[in-house]
Chains A and B, each alone.
Chain A
Amino acid sequence: MTSPAESRPRDGGIEAVLDRSGLAALVTALQHRGRTVIGPTVRDGAIVLDELDSATALPYGWGVELEAGTYRLVRRDDGAAFSHSAGPQSWKSFLHPERVRQWSADRGPGGGLTVREERPQAVSYAFLGVRPCDLRAIRILDLVMAGGRYPDPAYLSRRTGAFLIAVECTEPGATCFCVSMGTGPAADAGYDLALTEVVDDDGHRFLCRSGTEEGADVLAELPRRAADDATRTAAVLGVRAAADRMGRSMPPVDLRTLMRDTLEAERWDDVTARCLSCGNCTMVCPTCFCTTTEDVTDLTGDHAERWRRWDSCYDLDFSLLHGGPVRSSPRSRYRQWLTHKLGTWHDQFDSSGCVGCGRCIVWCPTGIDLTEEAHALHREASGSQDAP
């Protein structure tokens, strides 16, 4: 074991430097604490989030090239584990799963009904590699799913006590715009541990600081060395440089006002011509939370179950009321999504629903880019011809 290697970082936690074996020990330590460790790993030509058996499953030496509607995995020669930006899923897939049983009912021989509420089994997660944008997304989901009068038990069973290991961004993608949304690339709060990956002549290492007591306890168990100024400086500069290399930006206006004032803009027709209403943007969005209910019965009709599953404002049936769908035109559905995400989310949850991760840009088959749409709406509203 190393000598006491903690020093005080700026926010009062403890700070140390881990090398690759230290990162491996982190995964093992969390598993020993009974955690299911989820992190990035390569599968099917992408960096996905999945359960990690060990740190060797991390995408060492893999990066991504992103553009609107395009995602490509590329080899990196620096061996970095976290030099990639958002992949096809988000942490939502684990905290707010796509399908959850809510209750089941049985009819007895006498015709009496027994209804059983679903008691979700608690899962003890550790999320490794949460980007600052996604850290914010989890905070937003917390408010949506557990913040009101009726917290969702399925969400709480997965979220309560989840151990979050943030990894600050040093390699933003071409579709990233966290700076515009004020969510990154540095991790400010809401993590148990925060890592910053540094690869330079002094080697491959991770500056690690704790944000909670449990984080400090875990860090204290790991093989580590004292944080040194060279590593601290490299980490700060790496994150600062990332802030200057955002691939996208939002127009420098109040987006909530922009959405409110452009509801009848011609731009909505333009984007509708490119929109497939396929729902991909909402499925990959780390904060889109909408669901529908699905009631199923078995062949006998004596057993029924209610399930909740992900739905989307792009689904024609999502706004189906008596007599037909409220948002029947694709234009109204796209507009609903964007104006909610950037505008009315503020009214509902007191923040933007967008964290600038860029997933909806990448995973849109036709490459619709919400930053481009926001710029176009801004241009149309202000009558200016300025390029974004």
Chain B
Amino acid sequence: MHPPEPPAPAARPRLGVFKFASCDGCQLTLLDCEDELLALAAEVDIAHFAEASSDAAPGPYDLALVEGSVSTPEHLDRVRRIRAESRHLVTIGACATAGGVQALRNYADVEEYLATVYAHPEYIATLATSTPISAHVRVDFELRGCPIDRGQLLEVITAFLSGRKPGIANHSVCFACKRRGNVCVTVAHGTPCLGPVTHAGCGALCPTYGRGCYGCFGPAATTNLPALIPVLHRDGMDDEDIGRFLHTFNVADFTAVEARGPGVTGKEGTE
């Protein structure tokens, strides 16, 4: 009689990293986790990560990190396939969570854009809108930022590995700015800053270096943009400036709360 086989080591959870319409900066954040990459590779099987390796293994995946917005007809099918193959799906970055800067097209004539940009627009297959992944499939967690924060990405991966809720705050950048001991750039310098309405997560990076927040993490869980507009006016912005200030990487999310008074943004929590 043979001795029993030693138990096989538990299979590591399989990680897939996928990209839609985006600049690749958010998945690059994963490669930027230089000090933690070996530890991460020990805990997960990086099965699909085109930016790191051309050796792409098929699903299913335990955790899919999805970057980019749904922007082409081909994306519509692909996002559903990835969802079907993934136990948990986490979207990373402003393109995936809000449609990205390319969602500016949602407020313009896409045919006109095509004719202006491309010599042969007939070669281009595009949708009229750029939309977040959550507009198409169920998403387990949305990690904000343009790009995302390295520490927050590790926290989200770690949380999913241990089956707990990610410790990601939904409050404003001001919380982080004050906790860091910064002097408020709006109050002390008269610098326009979107910190009071912007989702924390960057560690108040821009105000720490003396410039105003430009909202790259999108709206906080609760905003009151109409109350901030007079402050931006006071600090030298006209309506056109404010429009440009708000309509960048998270144009769709800021547009959704632009005219809305005090209350939750609808992305988190309930009123």
User: Is B197 located at the chain interface by the 8 A CB criterion?
Assistant: yes
A276 to B232, CA, bound (A): 13
CB distance from B269 to the nearest CB of A (A): 5
Chain A contact surface mostly? mixed
B196 close to A276 (CB less than 8 A): yes
Which of A32-40, A133-141, A245-253, A311-319 binds B? A311-319
Contact string, B33-66, partner A, CB cutoff 8 A, digits 1/0? 0001001101100000000000000000000000
CB distance from B15 to the nearest CB of A (A): 12
With CB as the reference atom, state the residue of chain B lying closest to A312.
B175
A286 to B157, CA, bound (A): 37
Contacts of B154 in A (CB 8 A): 299
Contacts of B167 in A (CB 8 A): 294-296
The answer, among B158, B184, B224, for a CB contact under 8 Å with A330, is B224
A272 close to B184 (CB less than 8 A): no
Contact of A276 with B187 at beta-carbon distance under 8 Å, contacts A316-B264, A366-B227 already known: no
B262 close to A273 (CB less than 8 A): yes
Contacts of A309 in B (CB 8 A): 179
User: Is B81 located at the chain interface by the 8 A CB criterion?
Assistant: no
CB distance from B76 to the nearest CB of A (A): 33
The answer, among A89, A273, A328, A363, for a CB contact under 8 Å with B271, is A328
Contacts of B193 in A (CB 8 A): 365
User: Is A222 located at the chain interface by the 8 A CB criterion?
Assistant: no
User: Is A99 located at the chain interface by the 8 A CB criterion?
Assistant: yes
B188 close to A279 (CB less than 8 A): no
The answer, among B157, B164, B183, B221, for a CB contact under 8 Å with A299, is B157
A362 to B187, CA, bound (A): 7
A329 close to B263 (CB less than 8 A): yes
A328 to B265, CA, bound (A): 12
Residue picked from A301, A325, A363, A365, most chain B C-beta under 10 Å: A365
With CB as the reference atom, state the residue of chain B lying closest to A328.
B271
A44 close to B182 (CB less than 8 A): yes
A312 to B169, CA, bound (A): 12
Contact string, A357-385, partner B, CB cutoff 8 A, digits 1/0? 00000110110000000000000000000
A310 close to B179 (CB less than 8 A): yes
**Which chain B residues (254-271) contact chain A, with CB distance < 8 Å?**
261-264, 268-271
- Interface size range on B against A: 35 or more
The answer, among A73, A276, A324, A325, for a CB contact under 8 Å with B227, is A276
**Which chain A residues (284-334) contact chain B, with CB distance < 8 Å?**
284, 294-301, 309-310, 312, 314-317, 320, 324-325, 328-331
Contact count A vs B, C-beta below 8 Å: 158
A298 to B232, CA, bound (A): 41
B231 close to A45 (CB less than 8 A): no
**Which chain B residues (163-217) contact chain A, with CB distance < 8 Å?**
164, 167, 169-172, 174-175, 178-179, 181-184, 186-190, 193, 195-197, 210
Which of A64-72, A110-118, A207-215 binds B? A64-72
**Which chain A residues (37-91) contact chain B, with CB distance < 8 Å?**
43-46, 48, 69-73, 88-89
A71 close to B188 (CB less than 8 A): yes
Contact of A89 with B181 at beta-carbon distance under 8 Å, contacts A317-B170, A330-B224 already known: yes
User: Is B242 located at the chain interface by the 8 A CB criterion?
Assistant: no
The answer, among A283, A330, A365, for a CB contact under 8 Å with B187, is A365
User: Is A280 located at the chain interface by the 8 A CB criterion?
Assistant: yes
Contacts of B226 in A (CB 8 A): 273
Contacts of A317 in B (CB 8 A): 169-171, 221, 269
User: Is A119 located at the chain interface by the 8 A CB criterion?
Assistant: no
Contacts of B220 in A (CB 8 A): 277-278
User: Is B155 located at the chain interface by the 8 A CB criterion?
Assistant: yes
With CB as the reference atom, state the residue of chain B lying closest to A294.
B167
Contact of A280 with B222 at beta-carbon distance under 8 Å, contacts A312-B171, A317-B171, A366-B228 already known: no
Contact of A273 with B261 at beta-carbon distance under 8 Å, contacts A48-B181, A93-B181 already known: yes
B174 close to A283 (CB less than 8 A): yes
Contact string, B81-118, partner A, CB cutoff 8 A, digits 1/0? 00000000000000000000000000000000000000
A329 close to B195 (CB less than 8 A): no
Contacts of A43 in B (CB 8 A): 183
Contacts of A99 in B (CB 8 A): 179
B186 close to A284 (CB less than 8 A): no
A298 close to B158 (CB less than 8 A): yes
With CB as the reference atom, state the residue of chain A lying closest to B33.
A299
Contacts of A329 in B (CB 8 A): 262-263, 271
B224 close to A277 (CB less than 8 A): yes
Residue picked from B40, B227, B263, B270, most chain A C-beta under 10 Å: B227
User: Is A11 located at the chain interface by the 8 A CB criterion?
Assistant: no
Contacts of B230 in A (CB 8 A): 366
Contacts of A297 in B (CB 8 A): 158-159, 162, 164
A sample of 15 inter-chain contacts (CB < 8 A) reads A46-B188, A272-B262, A276-B228, A278-B174, A280-B178, A280-B184, A297-B159, A297-B164, A299-B154, A299-B157, A301-B162, A315-B169, A316-B268, A317-B171, A320-B269
Interface positions of B (Cβ within 8 A of A): 36, 39-40, 42-43, 154-155, 157-159, 161-162, 164, 167, 169-172, 174-175, 178-179, 181-184, 186-190, 193, 195-197, 210, 220-224, 226-228, 230-231, 261-264, 268-271
Interface positions of A (Cβ within 8 A of B): 43-46, 48, 69-73, 88-89, 93, 98-99, 272-280, 283-284, 294-301, 309-310, 312, 314-317, 320, 324-325, 328-331, 362-363, 365-366
* Further contacts, 6 of them, CB under 8 A, given A71-B184, A99-B179, A299-B36: A278-B174, A297-B162, A314-B171, A317-B170, A328-B271, A330-B263
**A-B CB proximity, top 4 nearest:** A283-B178, A278-B196, A330-B262, A98-B179
